[in-house]
Amino acid sequence: MAQAQGETGFLANLGKVYAIYTGGFLAFVIFIAILEQMGVPNRILGYLFVGFTILVYAAIGILSRTAQVSEYYVAGRKVPAIYNGMATGADWMSGASFVGMAGTLFALGYDGLAFVLGWTGGYVLVSVLLAPYLRKFGAYTVPDFLGARYGGNFARFLGVLVLLACSFTYVVAQIYATGIIASRFLGMSFEVAVYAGLLGILVCSMLGGMRAVTWTQVAQYIVLIVAYLVPVVILSTQKYGVPVPQLMYGQALQDIAAREQQIIEQGLNVANTLKPHIQAFQTYNPLNYFALIFCLMVGTASLPHILMRYFTTPSVRDARKSVAWSLFFIFLLYFTAPSYAAFAKLEVYTNVIGQSLDALPAWISTYSQLGLVDIYGVSLTKLGAGLGALKDAMAAGATDAAGVALVLSDAGKTAGLAAWSALSGPVQGVVFEAFQANNAVTAAEIFKPAIAAAAQAAGNATGLLGHSGLAINNDVIVLSTPEIAGMPYVIAGLVAAGGLAAALSTADGLLLAIANALSHDIYYKMIDTQAPTSRRLIVSRILLVIVAVLAAYVASTKPADILAMVAWAFSIAAAGLFPALVLGVWWKRANKTGAIVGIIAGFGICLYYLVATRYYAVSFYEMWSGLSGANEAAIAKYAELKGAWEGAAPEAKAAAWKAFDAHAQKVANWFGVANISSALFGIPAGVIGIVVGSLLTAAPSRAMQDFIDEIRRPKGKELMEGGNLVNEIR
C-alpha cells in the first residue's frame, strides 16, 4: 500500500522529479568545474563524472524494483507519452550514434546523411503502421503478437529467432562501446571496463525490468542530450556569436567549400581523396544511397526493443503521441550532428591540412596517442608498438632494419612482427636509425621525422600535410571538439558521461528485449504454460543475467566485425519482422501459413545475401555473375585476380586469395546493391511469401477477423492481460 502511494506520488510529480534531477546534474557539472579550477587532476574528475552518473542510474534501478509481472514487462502501462518519448530516445541512440554519427558525416559529407534520414524517418512508419495497434493488442513482447495473430507457436518461435539475430550483436556493440569510452577516459583496461559496464547495465534492468529501465533511460536521455549540445553550442557562440549551431553552420559550409577549392589549388589533393562536403553521391551511388535510407527506416520500424517501448503507454492515443515525442527527442541530437561535422571539418581544413608537418595542432598528437589519428599512416601508438618490437629484435640479434622482421618471425614474436610490419619501409628506417643513435628514444621524439619520411614516400615533398595524409577515426569528431575549442576538461568529462549514458541505455533496452522474448515467449508460452508469476519473474532475471554476461564476454574478445554486424541488424529486422507485423494489422487475409513462409523467405534471403556477399564472395559471384552490377573493368580485374590465385605458388596462395577475395566482395552483388541494404531483397521476399502463402491456404477464422477489428479500434480493453489472451481465438 505504501509502495502504491509512493508510486502515484512519483507519477504525479514526474515533472518535478526530473527537473530536480536535471538541476542536480547541472550543479554537479559546475561542482566538477570548480574542482578543476582548484587543480584536481583530470583522471579523478573523470572517475567522479562517470561514477556519479552510474550511481544515480543504479539508485533509480534499485528504487524501481518490482515483483509484478506487468510492471516488469511493460512498466505497468503507466508511462506518460512525453517521458516514454525521452526513454525511447535514449533506447534508440546508441553509443555509436552519440560518438560516431558526426564523424560519419565528417568523413562522408552528404552521403552520410543517409543515416540521419534513415534513423529518423523510420518513426513515421512506427506510428502510422504499427505502434498504436500493437499497444491496443496488449502483448508483452513483439513475438507475442505474432504468436497470437497467426496462431500456434511456430510463428512466435520464428519471431524470437529474428529478434535474437538482430538484437544480440547490437547489444554486444553497446557493451563494447562502454568499454571503449571508459578505457579512453578513465584509463581502465578495456576488459575491466567491459565488466564494469555490465554491472551498470544489470543493476538498472534486473530488479525492475521495464519499469526500472524506463526511468533510468529518461535520466540517461537528459545526460546524453545535455552532453551532446553543450560543446557545440559553446563552439558556435565562440565562432559566430550565436548559440544556435544548427543555424550557424551554414556559414561553415560556405567556408568549407571555399577551403576545399584552395586545397585543390595549393596542390594538397594529389591523391584525389577530397570529397566536396555538400556534393551528393560520391561514396554511395544513388541506388545504394536510397536503398540504405529505405532499409534503415524499415529496420527502425521493426526493431523489437523500440516497438516494445510503446507497450508501456497508458493508452493507444498516448502511444501515437509518444512516437511523435520520441522522434522529437531523437531529432534534437540528429539535426545537431551535421553542425558538429561542419565545424570540425572547417577546423581540420583550416588548421590541420596544409599546415607544416612540424607544426600540427596539439590535439592531433593527443588522439594519435590513442591510435585514432594517423598522419600518412603513422600514429604514436603504431610508433610505440614498432619501437617495442624493435627492442626485442635487437635483443634477439638483429643488425639492420631489413633483418628485423626475419628475427621477429624466427623468434615467434607474432605480435611484435605485426607491430613492425604496420610501419612502412621508410618509417622503419627512421625508427631504426633513431634507436641506434639513442636506445632510450621515445615514440614522441621520432614522430616528426617519421611522418616526414612517410610523407616523402607518399610523394609529398612540400613538407605540408596533404589531404590524403590525414586519417581520423569517426569517434574523434565528437570527443575532440571540447579540446579543439579550448574548453576546460569538465566539458570533455561531460561528453564521456553522455556517451556512456547513450551506450548503457541502449544496452538496457536490447537486453530486456532479448531476455523477455526468451522468458515470456520461449519459457512461459512454449515450455511451461502453467508457470506461476513468481517463477516467470525469476526465470526472466536469470536469463537476463545469462544473456548479459554472454554479451559482455563476446565484447571483451573485441570481435573484429562487430560494427559491420550492427549495421546488419536493421536489414535483418526489416526483412524478418516488418512484413509479418504490418500485414498482420493491415491485411485480414494474412494467415499462419503465409506468415511462416514470409518470415522464412524474408529473413532467409536477407541473411543469405549478408553472409554470402561478405564471407563467401567468390562462390556468390561465381553463382550469380549474371546479376552482378559490376562494370567491365571490375569483372576483368576479377578474372585477372582469379588467374593469379589459381596460378600462384603454394606459399603465395594465401596472399593471392586475400587479394582475390577482397576484390570479389566488390563484385559479389545483385544489381549493385550493397551488403548493408540486403533488406531491399528481403522485404519484398517477405511480403510475397505472406501474400502467396496466405492466398493458397484458407482465410483466417471469423474470430480472428473480429480480433483484428478490435486491434484497429482504440476503444475498449487490451486483448491480452498478464501475457495471456483474454479470449482464446479459435
Partner 1 sequence: MASSNAEGHWSATSRLMWTALVIWAFFSFVIHFFVNSLNSIVVFGFPLGFWFAAQGSLIVFVVLLFWFASAQDKIDRDHGFAEED
C-alpha cell at 536: 516467470
Distances (CA, A) of 486 to 235, 393, 506: 9, 42, 31
Of residues 132-161, those binding partner 1 (CB under 8 A): 132
3-class SS of residue 284: coil
> Minimum distance from CB of 711 to partner 1 (Å)?
11
Round to whole Å and give the CA distance between 370 and 443.
Answer: 13
Q: Is the CB of 122 or the CB of 493 nearer to partner 1?
A: 122
| Cβ closest to partner 1, residue 248 vs residue 500 | 248
d(CA 140, CA 307) in angstroms, rounded, equals: 11
Task: Out of 137, 185, 334, 363, name the contact with partner 1 by CB under 8 A.
Answer: 334
Is 589 near partner 1 (CB under 8 A)?
no
Q: How many CB atoms lie within 10 A of CB 709?
A: 10
338 binds partner 1 (CB under 8 A): yes
Task: Tell me if 108 contacts partner 1 by CB under 8 A.
Answer: no
Least gap, CB of 612 to partner 1 (angstroms): 28
> Minimum CB separation from partner 1 for residue 130, in Å?
11
Q: Which of 64, 88, 94, 127 binds partner 1 (CB under 8 A)?
A: 127
Report the amino acid identity of residue 594. G
Q: How far is the CB of 318 from partner 1 (least distance, A)?
A: 9
CB of 486 to partner 1, least distance (A): 24
CA–CA separation, 685 and 604 (whole Å): 9
DSSP state of 356: B
Residue 435 within binding range of partner 1, rule CB under 8 A: no
CB atoms within 10 A of CB 296: 26
Site for partner 1 in 684-723 (CB under 8 A): 709, 712-715
**Collapsed DSSP state (helix, strand, coil) of residue 277:** coil
Q: Measured from the CB of residue 169, what is the shortest distance to partner 1 in angstroms?
A: 26
Contact string (CB under 8 A) for partner 1, positions 293-332, x = contact = xx--x-----------------xxx--xx-xx--xx--x-
Question: Residue 300 corresponds to which amino acid?
Answer: T
Rule CB under 8 A: choose which of 104, 120, 302, 312 binds partner 1: 120
Using the minimum distance from each CB to partner 1, give the nearer residue, 661 or 710: 710
The Cα 160–Cα 577 span in angstroms is 10
Among 8, 189, 254, 356, binds partner 1 (CB under 8 A): 254
> At 639, phi and psi to the nearest 5?
-60, -40
477 binds partner 1 (CB under 8 A): no
Rounded Cα distance between 509 and 220, Å, is: 12
CB of 125 vs partner 1, minimal distance in Å: 7
Give the cell for residue 333.
541530437
For the CB of residue 307, give the shortest distance to partner 1 in the complex, in Å: 16
Q: Any contact of residue 113 with partner 1 (CB under 8 A)?
A: yes
Cβ proximity to partner 1: between 133 and 447 the closer is: 133
- Closest alpha carbon to 357 in 458, 441, 433: 458
Query: For partner 1, which is the closer residue by CB, 255 or 445?
Result: 255
Count residues near partner 1 (CB under 8 A).
Answer: 47
Q: Which is closer to partner 1, CB of 333 or CB of 511?
A: 333
Which secondary-structure segment (H or E) carries 375?
A: strand 373-375
Backbone Cα Rg of the chain = 27
Residue (of 431, 425, 429) closest to 387 by Cα position: 431
First-last CA distance in the chain: 40
Angle at 270 between CA 264 and CA 272, to 5 degrees: 80
188: contact with partner 1 by CB under 8 A? no
CB of 238 to partner 1, least distance (A): 18
CB of 253 to partner 1, least distance (A): 6
441 in contact with partner 1 (CB under 8 A): no
CA distance 333 to 337: 6
Amino acid at 157: F
Grid cell digits, residue 533: 508469476
CB of 286 or CB of 626, closer to partner 1? 286
Span of 11-19, 112-120, 359-367, 545-553 interacting with partner 1 by CB under 8 A: 112-120
- Minimum distance of partner 1 from residue 124's CB (angstroms): 4
Q: Does 587 bind partner 1 (CB under 8 A)?
A: no
* Min CB(323)–partner 1 separation in Å: 6
How are beta strands 470-472 and 373-375 bridged, if at all? antiparallel
* Inter-residue contact 275 to 283 (CB < 8 Å): yes
Q: Which stretch binds partner 1 (CB under 8 A): 2-10, 267-275, 291-299, 667-675?
A: 291-299
Torsion of CA 198, 204, 205, 211, to 10 degrees: -160
- Phi/psi region, residue 729 (left: phi>0; alpha: psi -120 to 50; beta: rest), is beta
- The least CB distance from residue 328 to partner 1, in Å, is 5
**Binding status of residue 250 toward partner 1 by CB under 8 A:** yes
Report yes or no: 464 and 357 within 8 Å, Cβ to Cβ.
yes
User: By CB under 8 A, is residue 730 in contact with partner 1?
Assistant: no
Residues 394 and 435 sit within 8 Å (Cβ to Cβ): yes
Is 67 a binder of partner 1 (CB under 8 A)?
Answer: no
By beta-carbon proximity to partner 1, the closer residue of 254 and 697 is: 254
Among 25, 72, 98, 123, indicate the residue that binds partner 1 (CB under 8 A).
123
∠ CA 604-607-612, nearest 5°, is 120
Does 369 participate in binding partner 1 (rule CB under 8 A)? no
Site for partner 1 contains 107 (CB under 8 A) = no
- Smallest separation, CB 680 to partner 1 (Å): 13
Least CB distance to partner 1 at residue 242 (A): 11
CA angle, 496 then 508 then 475, to 5°: 30
Residue type, 46: G
Contacts of 645 (CB under 8 A, 6+ apart): 653, 656, 657, 659, 660
C-alpha cell at position 286: 544513388
Which of 202, 212, 235, 252 forms a contact with partner 1 (CB under 8 A)?
Answer: 252
Does 128 bind partner 1 (CB under 8 A)? Our answer is yes
Residue 129 interacts with partner 1 (CB under 8 A): yes or no: yes
Residues in CB range of 120: below 8 A, 6 or more apart: 327, 330, 331, 334
Judged by CB under 8 A, does residue 117 bind partner 1? yes
Residue whose C-alpha cell reads 544556435 in the numeric block? 244
Complex with partner 1: residue 49 or 284, whichever CB lies closer? 284
* Closest distance to partner 1 from the beta carbon of 250 (Å): 3
Which region among 14-22, 154-162, 244-252, 388-396 touches partner 1 (by CB under 8 A)? 244-252
Task: Calculate helix-pair angle for 702-712, 142-150, nearest 10 degrees.
Answer: 140
Q: Report the alpha-carbon distance of residue 506 to residue 501 in Å, rounded.
A: 8
Q: Which is nearer to partner 1, 127 or 519 (CB)?
A: 127
Smallest gap from Cβ 281 to partner 1, in A, equals 8
Quick one: 110 or 228, whose CB is closer to partner 1? 110
Based on the shown chain and the rule CB under 8 A, indicate whether residue 246 belongs to the binding site for partner 1. Answer: yes
Considering the complex, what minimum distance in angstroms separates the CB of residue 290 from partner 1?
Answer: 6
Q: How many CB atoms lie within 10 A of CB 594?
A: 29
Interaction site with partner 1 (CB under 8 A): 110, 113, 116-117, 120-121, 123-125, 127-129, 132, 246-247, 249-254, 278, 280, 286, 289-290, 293-294, 297, 315-317, 320-321, 323-324, 327-328, 331, 334-335, 338, 709, 712-715
